[in-house]
Structure 1
Amino acid sequence: MTQRLALIAAPLLLLAACGPADKKTETAAAPPAAEAPKSGPVAVAVTPYADGPLRVRADGVGPITAATAFDQPTIAALFPKAVVKSAFIHVGEGPPGPIITVEQDNVPLLEIGKGTEGGIAEIRLAGGPVEGPKGEALLGKWADLGFDIGQCRAGEGRTVNQTVCVRPEAPTVAYVFGVPGWTKGGLPPVETLKAKGQLNEFVWRPAETAAVGAA
């Protein structure tokens, strides 16, 4: 090999020995793992009232509980076959208070009163296929329902001249008994209650606002 060719070949051999230039390999970032859905409140289905017995329980009336809003659309959704209206009622001193009435098959079922905090304060039931916690029916006899006079008191306000009784196991439910012709106020004698007392109305209140014997 001549000296000129040797000078040209030497740099080429050096380049071949170095090999191809290093290339940076870009690796695509892996997508972040999908987050597990956060657990939230579980919706509990409530079955609207259609017909048949409407049960008054310690924790509510039919589909209504202490958590139910005092709201006409809400009550209408729970009683889809009924006529649900907003109204006002004047009881005692002060301005009239808002109520919601529920009527089905031309029979008044419920009168729902509003509390000072905006929720349901009470529900009065004086007609229709209503049943108490033990299956008691309206117009049932005081003597047949197993009350002791110590569980009863004289009614006041809307229940004046009536007898209000409460069972210890269901303090949120008041039983309002009437004695035909009784206008003396106070509690009638036990003998009179046994002979003439009949169940005229149930009154349910949420546990937070219920008072033993209140109606």
Structure 2
Amino acid sequence: MSIRMILAAVPLALLAACGPADKPVEPASAPAQPAARVQGLLPLDEYSVGPIMAQTPFKAEAIQALFPDDRVETRRDAIIVVRDGVQMLDIRGEPGLSTVGEIHIAGRSGAGPRGELFGMPWSRLDVPLKRCWMGKDAFRHAVICTQPGESVLRYVFEVPGWTRDDLPPIDGLARATLRDFIWKSGAGGYVPAGGGA
């Protein structure tokens, strides 16, 4: 067989190997989200709160599908998830979008990406002080911190006896314990540490 014949046969062999497609491939959409009940503590990280991700619709039926064994309620501008009679998630919509935005996670309901758990002291999380600020509204008098490289997940610390609106001194923070988590989808951008919830 001549080199010219071999070179002519190669494209045909490649086409034959590909074979006909059974049907056109649909464009990829949002990844499938598990519908099974999340057992135990919800795993929290930059991308999700258990089965909830940034692209999850802000609709009670969408949240109920992710938590089929739990009670899902709509209250004013929030969707609430209640498990065993205890509120574990307070979900708000992302402004200007139809997806989830900010989620308040009751401390006893979640576990951070490094194993952070409810009641853990501030000193054990090794959070730089410059990444902490005082909370507002529902989190007034609480200290909120983020880990380097994790602006989406925020840690809410309770400081015993602290009722001021400025950061407590280091000895006060040494007594602070993890109370709750706040997760923000990031879809609409962020207020940098030092401002916001």
With the shorter chain as reference, the TM-score category is: 0.7 to 0.9
TM-score when normalising by structure 2: 0.80
Query: 1:99 offset after TM fit, Å?
Result: 0.2
Query: 1:115 offset after TM fit, Å?
Result: 2.5
SS at match of 1:128: helix
TM-score when normalising by structure 1: 0.74
* Equivalent position amino acid for 2:87 in 1: P
Q: Could you say if the C-alpha distance between residues 121 and 129 of structure 1 is closer, same or farther in structure 2, counting changes exceeding 3 Å? A: closer
The CA distance in 2 between the partners of 1:133 and 1:35, in whole Å, is 41
Q: How does 1:188-199 map to 2 (within 5 A)?
A: 188-194=168-174, 196-199=175-178
Q: Does 1:177 align with 2:157?
A: yes
User: Does the 8 Å CA contact 1:166/1:212 hold for their aligned counterparts?
Assistant: no
SS at match of 2:149: coil
**Could you say which structure has the larger radius of gyration?**
1
SS at match of 1:125: strand
- Which deviates more, 43-52 or 147-156? 43-52
SS at match of 2:65: helix
Identity %: 31
User: Does the 8 Å CA contact 1:108/1:127 hold for their aligned counterparts?
Assistant: no
What residue in structure 2 maps to residue 38 of structure 1? 24
Structure 1: tracts of 5 or more residues without a match: 1-33, 89-97
* Equivalent position amino acid for 1:186 in 2: D
Query: 1:143 offset after TM fit, Å?
Result: 1.1
Structure 1 stretches of 4+ with a deviation exceeding 4 A read none
Q: Does 1:51 align with 2:31?
A: no
Query: 1:156 offset after TM fit, Å?
Result: 2.1
- Which deviates more, 74-83 or 202-211? 202-211
What residue in structure 2 maps to residue 82 of structure 1? 70
SS at match of 1:172: strand
Structure 2: tracts of 5 or more residues without a match: 1-19
